[in-house]
Structures are given as C-alpha cells and as structure tokens.
Amino acid sequence: MGKIYKTIDLFAGIGGIRLGFEAHGCKNVFSSEWDKYAQMMYEANFHETPFGDINDIAPEDIPEHDILLAGFPCQPFSIAGKGLGFADTRGTLFFNIEAILKAKQPEAFLLENVKRLTTHDNGNTFAVILDRLNKLGYTVYHKVFNSLDFGVPQKRERIYIVGFKKPIQFKFPKPLGYFKPLSEVLEKEENIPASYFLSETMKQKRFSALKTIPPKPSIWHENIGGNISPLPYSCALRAGGSYNYLVVNGERRLTSREMLRLQGFPDSFIINIPYSQARKVAGNSVSVPVIQAIAGEMIKALNEPKTAVKYKEPNLFGDYDYIGSKASVR
C-alpha cells in the first residue's frame, strides 16, 4: 500500500477538488471556505465545517500536509467578472497560497482557475504567479483542459497548475475525448416542479430566435447578445449567470441535482441549501472527473519520482512546453 497523502482544501467551495483526491486515498486535514451556504453543503457531505476567511489564520498555523489544493477565486480573471485581476481583493488571495506554500513546504500543489488567467493583463498576471511559484523552489506544470473531454457534458475550460517541491517529471492525464449524453444527466420531466418551467412568452421568444432544428435533449445557451445556441451539452455553469442563461430543451431551468451532475458530482452528494444558492456554489465548483484524473497522475508522480528534464517543444496550441525549473505546459 502506498503512502496516504495529507491534503488541505483552500477556497474549498463544496469540496469538488477534495472529492477528486479522496478517490485516490488522500486524507484531508484542513479546509477553508467563507461562503456560509458552501460551508453548509461541505459540512453535510464531509462532516466538518471549513475554517472561514483564510486571511484570519496565520500560514504557520495551517496543519502539516503533503499536497495543497486550491481553486482560488476566479472572478477577478473571468470574462463574466470585471477582470480586475490583482486589483480585485479576491485576486490577491493567490498570495495567501504563496505564503502557505512558503511556510509549510508541501510536497506538491494543485491550483485551478479560469482559462483567462493565462491571458489576463497580456499574460503578466500569469507570469507573476508562475514566477512566484518558481521562486519557492517548485517545478511547475500547467495545462488548460475542457471538462467535455473528461466525460461530463459541460464545456468548461480551466487552467490547472501543478507543482512539486522536488524536480520530478509529471504528465497531465490524457483526455478521454468524449462526454456522456445529456440523457444520463437530466432528470425525468415528470419529476420537475412547475416552477422550473419558463412562461409561454419566454419559450416562444426562444423558439422564434432559433435558426436550426435543435437536438433533443439539449441545453440552450443564451449569450450576452441574446443569441440562442441549442447544444447537446451545457456551456459552463456560472455562479452569476441569469436564471435563464441555460435552459433545458428551451423550456425549463436546470435543477440543483442536474447542475451537480454536470460537474461530475455523485448523486449521493447531499444538497441542503436553497436553489438560488445551489446555482451559485455549483457554478463556483470544479469538474470532479478532471480533478480526479489529475490527482491520479500527481500521486503516481510522487510515488514513482523521476527527475525532470528541461526541454522545449511546440505543443498543440502553437506555443511551447517547458519541463524543469521553469513553468511548463504538459
């Protein structure tokens, strides 16, 4: 039996990242989340109440751990947010992560954020983050993944940043290349309360805007310009999206359970908060299957360490990958 790695779960939300690592036998020793509704769901499912504001605990007082996990706030860097980056107080929370890494020196970390983090402020924000992590002595890897490629029918592109205290080789998991059909995610129509269905006026407005025959089942996405796109998958769940941002078959809103399924949570995951808050925490959460796949490769790299070799090669996105002491994309 291999080592049982201890994790800490920062900006934990409802615990999606923790779930992915627990699937590989990791034991969580500390969690932090300030939103009270996310705390309620976290407690219901993990039987512990996360510590509140991470600013209220000294890095030295964080329990000893092997792997730091953090889906740090994405709103400062997202298209849906104002994109203020470090000028947004939530954007500076990365430096809390840096302080904990410096104080506790864990073997590894996983950070998750929106894809736009890589291009915010012409790439300067991401460069600062990578430079800080490198200066702490970590060998860093990063890659953008789309949840659609890991089995869940949700188009959700996120940047995943992995680091190791020792200069060891790491390869991100290979995407599955497929997603389950919506029919396996959506609840039976007869079980949906009437309050979830749009008014006839709103339904007609959407149907009249269609330019193609929609697949069925489908989730209709309405963008900022009011254009309707019926798709065989969901666009990214958003904490701040309107109630009609994503509509099933042009007729009704997603249920709380459906939103969690779109993030890859098991049906055993308890929902004990109002619908308005469930929408928020689901949109702020992570795609569990992606995390689980990355966690598996991280555990493998820690258990069977191989020295990283510096090299440079073009990748699929037309830029370059670096392995070694510099930030990398693999």
How many other C-beta atoms are found inside a 10 Å radius of the C-beta of residue 163? 26
Contact 150/289 with Cβ under 8 angstroms?
yes
**Residue 96, both tokens:** 């809390």
The residues pairing with 234 across neighbouring beta strands, listed in sequence order, are 154
DSSP 248: E
Instruction: State the sign of the Cα–Cα–Cα–Cα dihedral 75, 79, 85, 87.
Output: negative
**Residue 327, both tokens:** 């930030």
**Residue 230, both tokens:** 């019926």
Helix (H/G/I), strand (E/B), else coil: 217: coil
Q: Are strands 154-155 and 228-231 parallel, antiparallel or unpaired?
A: unpaired
Contact 8/105 with Cβ under 8 angstroms?
no
Q: Are strands 157-164 and 108-114 parallel, antiparallel or unpaired?
A: antiparallel
The residues pairing with 140 across neighbouring beta strands, listed in sequence order, are 163
- Cα separation, 300 vs 95, whole angstroms: 28
- Cα separation, 201 vs 81, whole angstroms: 30
Residues labelled as active-site residues: 74
Helix (H/G/I), strand (E/B), else coil: 155: strand
Contact 291/16 with Cβ under 8 angstroms?
yes
For 187, half-sphere exposure in the C-beta direction (CA atoms, 13 angstrom radius) is 17
Largest CA distance in the chain: 63
- The H or E element spanning position 111 is strand 108-114
